[in-house]
Amino acid sequence: MMKRLGLAVVLTSFSAPVFADGDVADGAAQFIRQCVACHVVRDDAGNILAGRVAKVGPNLYGIADRPVASDVRFRYGDSITLAGAAGVIWSQENFVTYVQDPTKWLRDALSDRRARSKMGYRVRSDQDAQDIFAYLASLAP
Ligand code: HEC
């Protein structure tokens, strides 16, 4: 009895990390398919963890719970800069909503119907967005 319990505990501790509703492996595939044309994931030491060298969009390293518009090397649009200055962070919910319609998310966040996003891309599935968030979260401590 104790032995079986011990085995179960060992197996559990070796299983893949789970980030809320996201599937890390699917997120990796979706990131390559949908994001690498514009984004890279580069750690603080300069190692590229995902993507190539795209600079159209900001570096997404450590995006989970990162302050909005905080890649100091990227020139953000005015609207997302305002959201960042207001102290908004990339919670899972904010991220998942944003990537499905960046302009709408900014309009809601700023209560400004004229807010605009420089990101001209939308993820078409909520599950894909959840999976990509889980994947990006898994790349940073
Ligand atoms: C066509 C280019 C393009 C594609 C494709 C694209 N993005 Fe973006 N993304 C951008 C740009 C440009 C910005 C900066 C937005 C601004 O300044 O308003 C951005 C901003 C972001 C931000 C805000 C980051 C921050 O530092 O606050 C997140 C999160 C994001 N993108 C996630 C994604 C994900 C995930 C994908 C893939 C599903 C993706 N993007 C695909 C161009 C793109």
**Ligand 1 within 6 A of CB of 56:** yes
Q: Which atom of ligand 1 is nearest to the CA of 75?
A: 17
Question: Is the minimum distance from the CB of 134 to ligand 1 under 6 angstroms?
Answer: no
The answer to whether the CB of 89 falls within 8 A of the CB of 98 is no
Whether 95 is in the pocket of ligand 1, judged by its Cβ within 6 Å, is yes
Q: What is the CATH number of the domain that holds 41?
A: 1.10.760.10
> What confidence score (pLDDT) does residue 20 get?
63
Kindly write down the DSSP assignment for every residue of 112-125, as one continuous string: -TT---S-------
Flag whether 5 is in a domain. Answer: no
Residue nearest to atom 37 of ligand 1 (CA): 35
From first to last of its 141 residues, the chain has per-residue pLDDT tens of: 444 444 444 444 444 455 567 899 999 999 999 999 999 999 999 999 999 988 999 999 999 999 999 999 999 999 999 999 999 999 999 999 999 999 999 999 999 999 999 999 999 999 999 999 999 999 998
Does ligand 1 lie within 6 Å of residue 121's CB atom?
yes
Crossing angle of helices 92-100/102-110, nearest 10°? 120
Does 113 fall in a domain? yes
Q: What gap in Å lies between CA 75 and CA 66, rounded to an integer?
A: 17
Is residue 41 a part of any domain in this protein? yes
Q: Which atom of ligand 1 is nearest to the CA of 69?
A: 27
**How far is Cα 129 from Cα 137, in angstroms, rounded to an integer?**
12
**pLDDT on residue 19:** 55
Number of domains in the chain: 1
User: Nearest CA to 100 among 129, 66, 76?
Assistant: 129
CB of 135 closer than 8 Å to CB of 24 = yes
Range of the domain at 47: 19-138
Q: Is residue 11 part of a domain?
A: no
